Amino acid sequence: MKDINQRWITTVSLPLPTILDNTADADRLISKLKKQLNTNQIDIDLFLLKKLPDLIRFCKYNIHCILFKNYDRWILTDISDPDDPSTIAGIAVDLGTTRVVIRMINLVTGQSLSETSFDNPQISVGPDILTRIHFASTDQGLKELNHLIISKLNREISTICHSCNLKPENIYLMSIAGNTTMTHLFMGIKPHYIIREPYIPVTNAPDTMEAQKLGIHINPSGRVFVFPNIGSYFGGDLISGILFSKIYERDETAILVDVGTNAEVVIGNKNWLIACAGAAGPALESGVTKMGMMAGPGVIDKVKIDPITRAIHIHTIGDTPPIGICGSGLIDFAAQLFLSGMMDIRGKLNPSVAGSHIKKTVHGLAFTLVPGKESATNQDLIIHQTDLDSLSRSKAAMYTILETISASVGIHLKELSTFYVAGTFGSFIDPKSAISIGMLPDLPIERYIVLGNSSLEGASMLLSDRNAMEEISRIKDRVTYMELNVNQDFMNRFSAAGFFPHTDPSLFPSVKIHSME
Amino acid sequence: MKDINQRWITTVSLPLPTILDNTADADRLISKLKKQLNTNQIDIDLFLLKKLPDLIRFCKYNIHCILFKNYDRWILTDISDPDDPSTIAGIAVDLGTTRVVIRMINLVTGQSLSETSFDNPQISVGPDILTRIHFASTDQGLKELNHLIISKLNREISTICHSCNLKPENIYLMSIAGNTTMTHLFMGIKPHYIIREPYIPVTNAPDTMEAQKLGIHINPSGRVFVFPNIGSYFGGDLISGILFSKIYERDETAILVDVGTNAEVVIGNKNWLIACAGAAGPALESGVTKMGMMAGPGVIDKVKIDPITRAIHIHTIGDTPPIGICGSGLIDFAAQLFLSGMMDIRGKLNPSVAGSHIKKTVHGLAFTLVPGKESATNQDLIIHQTDLDSLSRSKAAMYTILETISASVGIHLKELSTFYVAGTFGSFIDPKSAISIGMLPDLPIERYIVLGNSSLEGASMLLSDRNAMEEISRIKDRVTYMELNVNQDFMNRFSAAGFFPHTDPSLFPSVKIHSME
C-alpha cells in the first residue's frame, strides 16, 4: 500500500480559533491545507461553505478532506468527520468505442473494490466512431449519444455500488480515459470537426468538472476528470496508457503501441515523447472477415498448424465449439499459414502446399479453418484470400507507422529497449505471431511487454495516487504529435511491409519458414 | 469613457486552424486569451465547450469574450458573436441590512443604465442583524432568510431589466457588497458564529460563484462576486468603500469611516491600512428616539436654531409637513441645541436658557421640536433628554474609536489629510454639526469628503474596470484588522468624549458656543 500522502484523502488538524486568531472557518482550513499540500491555490465550493461551520466544530477542528485537482489547481471536493466509517470511493473508467470497463477504487487504501464491463450503448447508433460522429451532427443526435452513455454509466455505477455494498453518494472522484470522440460524446460536446480537415477537437484538456453538470449520479460534490487528448487521433486512453507504462520516466527509448483499427503509437523516454496515429484498417480487430468477431465464448483466439502434418489445432475462448475467429486468432492463423508454407511471402494461399484445406469459391480461394461438423454452427468456418489480403494491408500499415515514427527520430526499431503493447485488443495478441507476419518488429520476445487494459490502469492510478495528476500534465505538455505524412517514402515502406514478413527478411531474422526437405 | 482594455469584454482574433496548427478550439482560444490578458490561467466551463465549435466558425475565429475573475484567476464567462447587438450588462449590489440598492451597468461602455433601491425583505424577520442571526440558527430559518433576499433580488432584477428594455439573460456579472452577515445570508451560509466569541465568519473571501448555484436568475453562465470581508465586523461593503475612496493609493494618511450603528473605520495610506469596528449604538441612525426614523418624505433632516431668538427652523425631506427625525437631523439638532446654549457641555437640556421649548414629562425633561399644530401627525414632535443621552453615548463611542485607532498608529486625528465619510447614512451628515457635538474631529471642513453610497460605487467600479479585482485583492491582503481593546485607556477616552464637544475644548477650536452677552 502506498503512503497515505499519495492519496486524495487527507486529515487536517486546525488550531482552535481565538480572539487573536479569528480568521474565518474556510480561510483557516484552506490556509492549513495550502501548507500541507504545498500549494497556493485550493478551490472550495459554496456547497462546502454551507456545511463547514457546524462540521468543523463537531469534529473539534480535525477534519477529513477529500481532494482532487484540476491539473495544477487543487479542489477541496468534500469534507467529513474522520470518525465517519463510510467508504470513500472513486470510479475509473476505460471508455472504449466498443467496450466500457469501470473499476471501483477505495480512495483511502487505493485498492480496487470491484470491476465490471459492458458494451458501449452507443453501438445501437453505430458500431464505429465515424457513424457516431455523423449521427452527432445534429444537436438531437449529439444529445441522444450523450444520453446513451451517461444513463448507462449511471445504471452500471448503481449496480457496481450495490455489489460493493456502497451507495453512489460514496463515490467522490471519477477518471475517464477514452479516445477523443468518446470523451467528447461523454461530455456532450460536438465531435463534428474531429474528422474534417484539419481535424480539430473542441478541447484537448477539459477542466475537472462537477459530476452533476455531466448528469453523472455520484456524490453531489463529486468531480470528474477526463484524460486530455493530444489531438483528434491521439486520445486520453493513450495518455492514460503512457501514464501506466511509465515510458516517460525511462532513460532508454521505448515504444508504446495501441494495436487496433487505429494504430496509436508513442515513442520516447524521459526527455521526449513523439506520438502519431494512423489507420490500420479493421482487419486487426476482425472487422472484415465474415467469421470475424469480438473475443467471447467459442471464438477462436489461438491457432497452431503442425508444420509436418499440417494438422490444424484451434483454441476457443471457454473451450466451447468454435463459432468464429477474433483478431488475435486471425494473426495467429496467418502466422501459422505462412510458417507452414501454405501462404507465400505475398500473402497468397498456396494450393500446391495446402491441398484439401483450400477450395475455390465464387469469392476466390478460401481456407477451411474448421469443418462444419466440428463448428458450433454446423457450417464450415472459412477464411477467404480477400480476408488475408485485408490483414496484409493492416499489418503493413501498422509496421509502416512504427518504422516511420522511429525513422523520424533517427532510431531503428531494433534499438528499442522495450515495446509496450497497450489496449485490451493488444493484450490478446501473441507477439511471436505478430512478428512472424511482419506486423511488429523482430525484437527479442522479452522486450515485449503486454500492458493489458492500460487505459483503465492509468485511470485507476490517478484515483489511487494524487501525484499522477502532475504526471498527466507533464505527459500532455511533453508529447509532440506528428502528423503522419503519407508521402512517397511512406508508400515505399508500406509496399515493402505488405510482404510476409517483409521484402527485407534481414529485418526479421527470427522468422523461419518451415522448409519441406 | 475608460479604455476598452479596462472592461470585462474583449474581442479575440484567432489564427485559422491548419493541418500544421490543429490544436483544439478551446485550446486555441484560451492560448490566445492568455497572451492577450498576460495570464497563465483561464477557466472555461463545459457549457461554453458545447457552443464553442459552431460559434467560433460562424464568427470566422473573431469572438467576443465576456470575462470575469476569481481573484487572480480569469474565468471565461461566455462567448458571443461580435456582431450580436445585444447589450451585455452587469448588476452592482449594495446589500444593506436595511436598504438594498442595485445598479445596472453596461459592461461594454462601463456606463450606469439604471438604479433602484428597496427595503431588505429580511426586515420582516427582524430589523437588525442580531435578530436575523438568531433566526438563522436553524437550517429552516437560514433557508427562509436566504430565500427572502434571493427572491426579492430576482424580482427587482427582472423589473430593472424591464425598465432598461433588457432581459435577465443580458446580465452576465454581478458584484455584491454588504456586511459580513448580509453576504453570508445571501450565500445561504450560516452566520451563527459571527456574534459568538471569538466571532468567526464562515468565509472571508468566497470564490466567484455561478449565479445559478445561488439561485440568482441572470444569464445561465453568469457569475457573482461577493466582496471579501476582513472579519465578522468589517464587511465587504467597507472593502468596496475603500476601493472607491482610493485611500490605499495615497501617499498621505487618510481615514475612512462608515458612520452608523456600527462604526467601521479604516486608516492608512498606500503603505498600510489598519481597520477596526465598534458599536456606536443605534442613536446615530435614529433607532432610539420615538420620533426617530429612516430618511424619507416628511422626515426632518436639517435643523437650524437662531442663536439670538432661539427660533427653530426645520427642513424636511420633500418639504412636506414633519413626521419625525432621522439621524442626521438629530445630529444637527443636538449641535444647534448645544451651540445656542440650550444644552450644556454635559449634554443636558438647560431649562433656564431654553424656556418654553422644554417641558417636564413622566420620562423626564423633553424638548418640543415641532408643535402639534405644525406636524403632519398633529402631535408634538418631542426629543427627550434620554434620547440626547443616547446620542451622547453614540457620538462618544464614535470619537473614541477614531481616537483609539489613530493613537494605535501614532497619528493625531488633526494630522489626517482627508476624512472620508462612507455609507449612505454618512452622506446625510453635515460634518460641521458632527464636529460641533464632538462626534467627528475638528478638521478643516474641506478635508471632509462625503463618498455617498461608497459600497455601491465600489461594486460598480468592479464591473466597469477589470483592474479593480486586483485592487480588491490587494486591499484584502493589506488591511490589518485591529480588535478594539476596551481597556481602561479606552474608557477614559470614552468618558472625556461624552462631553460636548469634549472635556478638552482645545481639540475643537472651531466650535464656538453662542455667548449670551
Sheet of strand B209-210: strand arrangement: B112-119, B99-106, B89-95, B171-178, B223-226, B209-210
Cell of A356: 484439401
> Which chain A residues are closer than 8 Å to B202 by Cβ?
24-26, 49, 52-53
Task: State whether A197 and B483 contact (CB < 8 Å).
Answer: no
DSSP class of residue A462 equals: H
Output the pTM of the full model: 0.92
Task: State whether A17 and B41 contact (CB < 8 Å).
Answer: no
Question: Quick one: average pLDDT of B71-86?
Answer: 96
Listed in sequence order, the residues at least 6 apart from A471 whose beta carbon sits closer than 8 Å to its beta carbon are A243, A248
Task: State whether B483 and A199 contact (CB < 8 Å).
Answer: no
> Which chain B residues are closer than 8 Å to A49 by Cβ?
187, 189, 202-203, 206
> Which chain B residues are closer than 8 Å to A21 by Cβ?
198
Q: Residue B356: is its pLDDT beyond 50?
A: yes
Residue B112 pairs in a beta bridge with B105
Q: Please tell me the predicted confidence (pLDDT) of residue B517.
A: 41
Question: In Å, what is the CA distance from B276 to each residue of A232, B240, B398, B400, B484?
Answer: 57, 16, 11, 12, 7
CA-closest candidate to residue B236, choices B408, B92, B399: B92
Q: Please tell me the predicted confidence (pLDDT) of residue A294.
A: 76
- What residue ranges of chain A are covered by domains with CATH 3.30.420.480? 89-226
What class has domain B89-226? alpha beta
Pairing of strands B73-80, B62-70: antiparallel
C-alpha–C-alpha distance, residues A179 and B69, integer Å: 32
List, for residues B468-490, the tens digit of each pLDDT value: 999 999 999 999 988 887 788 88
Q: What residue of B is the nearest CA neighbor of A214?
A: B46
CA-closest candidate to residue A325, choices A347, A302, A344: A302
Q: How many CA atoms lie within 13 A of B501 on its CB side?
A: 25
Task: State whether A22 and B192 contact (CB < 8 Å).
Answer: no
> Which chain B residues are closer than 8 Å to A185 by Cβ?
none
List, for residues B136-174, the tens digit of each pLDDT value: 999 999 999 999 999 999 999 999 999 999 999 999 999
Q: Is the dihedral of CA B27, B32, B35, B41 positive or negative?
A: negative
The total number of residues shown for chain B amounts to 517
DSSP class of residue B231 equals: B
Q: Can you count the helices (H) and strands (E) in chain A?
A: 14, 22
- Of the residues A41, A200, A229, A476, the best mutation for testing chain B's interface (the one with the most B CB atoms within 10 Å of its CB) is A200
A494: region left, alpha or beta (phi > 0 left; psi from -120 to 50 alpha)? alpha
Cell of B317: 425631506
Confidence of residue B186 (pLDDT cuts 50, 70, 90): very high
Listed in sequence order, the residues at least 6 apart from A380 whose beta carbon sits closer than 8 Å to its beta carbon are A368, A370, A371, A372
Q: Residue A458: is its pLDDT beyond 50?
A: yes
Q: Residue B1: is its pLDDT beyond 60?
A: no
Cell of A108: 483511502
Q: How many CA atoms lie within 13 A of B356 on its CB side?
A: 6
Question: Quick one: average pLDDT of A417-427?
Answer: 87
C-alpha–C-alpha distance, residues B456 and B347, integer Å: 36
- Of the residues B61, B138, B189, B239, the best mutation for testing chain A's interface (the one with the most A CB atoms within 10 Å of its CB) is B189
Contact by Cβ (8 Å): B68, B223: yes
Task: State whether B197 and A43 contact (CB < 8 Å).
Answer: no
CB atoms within 10 A of CB A351: 15
C-alpha–C-alpha distance, residues B510 and B369, integer Å: 26
Q: Please tell me the predicted confidence (pLDDT) of residue B288.
A: 63
Sheet of strand A358-361: strand arrangement: A358-361, A364-370, A381-384
Q: Please tell me the predicted confidence (pLDDT) of residue B411.
A: 94
CB atoms within 10 A of CB A405: 24
Pairing of strands B273-279, B479-481: parallel
Contact by Cβ (8 Å): A185, A142: yes
DSSP class of residue B2 equals: -
C-alpha–C-alpha distance, residues A76 and A69, integer Å: 8
List, for residues A275-290, the tens digit of each pLDDT value: 998 887 777 776 666 7
| DSSP secondary structure string for all residues of A216-254 | --S-TT-EEEEPP-SBTTB-HHHHHHHHHHTGGG-SS-E
Contact by Cβ (8 Å): B224, B176: yes
List, for residues A500-517, the tens digit of each pLDDT value: 999 999 999 999 887 654
Cell of A371: 469443418
Task: State whether B46 and A213 contact (CB < 8 Å).
Answer: yes
C-alpha–C-alpha distance, residues B293 and B302, integer Å: 14
Task: State whether B204 and A24 contact (CB < 8 Å).
Answer: yes
Percent of chain A with pLDDT over 90: 85
User: What dihedral do alpha carbons B379, B380, B386, B388 form, nearest 10°?
Assistant: 130
Task: State whether A199 and B19 contact (CB < 8 Å).
Answer: yes
List, for residues A153-199, the tens digit of each pLDDT value: 999 999 999 999 999 999 999 999 999 999 999 999 999 999 999 99
> Which chain A residues are closer than 8 Å to B30 by Cβ?
none
List, for residues B23-44, the tens digit of each pLDDT value: 999 999 999 999 999 999 999 9
List, for residues B377-409, the tens digit of each pLDDT value: 999 999 999 999 999 999 999 999 999 999 999
- What residue ranges of chain A are covered by domains with CATH 3.30.420.40? 238-281+393-487
C-alpha–C-alpha distance, residues B129 and B425, integer Å: 17
Amino acid at B94: D
- For residue B198, give the nearest of A17, A214, A483 by CB distance: A17
| Pure H helices in A38-138 | 46-58, 129-135
Sheet of strand A324-325: strand arrangement: A312-316, A299-305, A324-325
CA-closest candidate to residue B153, choices B208, B107, B215: B215
Q: Residue A2: is its pLDDT beyond 50?
A: no
Question: Quick one: average pLDDT of B8-14?
Answer: 96
Measure the CA angle with vertex B181, ends A51 and B187; round to 5°.
50
C-alpha–C-alpha distance, residues A188 and A183, integer Å: 8
Average pLDDT score, chain B: 93
Question: Quick one: average pLDDT of A42-63?
Answer: 96
CB atoms within 10 A of CB B384: 19
Class of residue B337 by CB neighbours under 10 A (exposed 0-12, middle 13-18, buried 19+): buried
- What residue ranges of chain A are covered by domains with CATH 3.10.20.880? 4-80
Q: What residue of A is the nearest CA neighbor of B206?
A: A46
Q: Please tell me the predicted confidence (pLDDT) of residue A20.
A: 86
Min Cα distance B111 → chain A (Å) is: 31
What class has domain B4-80? alpha beta
Q: Please tell me the predicted confidence (pLDDT) of residue B509.
A: 94
Min Cα distance B17 → chain A (Å) is: 7
Q: Residue B262: is its pLDDT beyond 50?
A: yes
Q: Please tell me the predicted confidence (pLDDT) of residue B286.
A: 64
Task: State whether B49 and A206 contact (CB < 8 Å).
Answer: yes
| Pure H helices in A409-467 | 431-436, 454-464
Amino acid at A474: R
Contact by Cβ (8 Å): B199, B231: yes
Amino acid at A101: V
Matching residue, cell 475509473: A92
CB atoms within 10 A of CB B124: 11
Contact by Cβ (8 Å): B191, B181: yes
Task: State whether A188 and B50 contact (CB < 8 Å).
Answer: yes
**Strand locations in B240-399, DSSP E?**
254-258, 262-268, 273-279, 299-305, 312-316, 324-325, 358-361, 364-370, 381-384
CA-closest candidate to residue B174, choices B215, B224, B211, B220: B224
- For residue A192, give the nearest of B23, B53, B197 by CB distance: B53
Sheet of strand A9-13: strand arrangement: A9-13, A62-70, A73-80, A42-44
C-alpha–C-alpha distance, residues A439 and B317, integer Å: 93
C-alpha–C-alpha distance, residues A68 and A261, integer Å: 34
List, for residues B309-354, the tens digit of each pLDDT value: 999 999 999 999 999 998 889 999 999 999 999 999 999 999 998 8
Listed in sequence order, the residues at least 6 apart from B104 whose beta carbon sits closer than 8 Å to its beta carbon are B89, B90, B91, B112, B113, B114, B115, B160, B161, B164, B166, B171
Contact by Cβ (8 Å): A145, A136: yes
Task: State whether B204 and A20 contact (CB < 8 Å).
Answer: no
Q: Residue B2: is its pLDDT beyond 50?
A: no
- For residue A189, give the nearest of B41, B49, B232 by CB distance: B49
Cell of B497: 468624549
Task: State whether A187 and B46 contact (CB < 8 Å).
Answer: yes
Contact by Cβ (8 Å): B254, B416: yes
DSSP class of residue B295 equals: S
C-alpha–C-alpha distance, residues B131 and A498, integer Å: 85
Q: Please tell me the predicted confidence (pLDDT) of residue A263.
A: 86
CB atoms within 10 A of CB A391: 25
Q: Residue B441: is its pLDDT beyond 90?
A: yes
DSSP class of residue B349 equals: B
C-alpha–C-alpha distance, residues A188 and A195, integer Å: 17
What class has domain A238-281+393-487? alpha beta
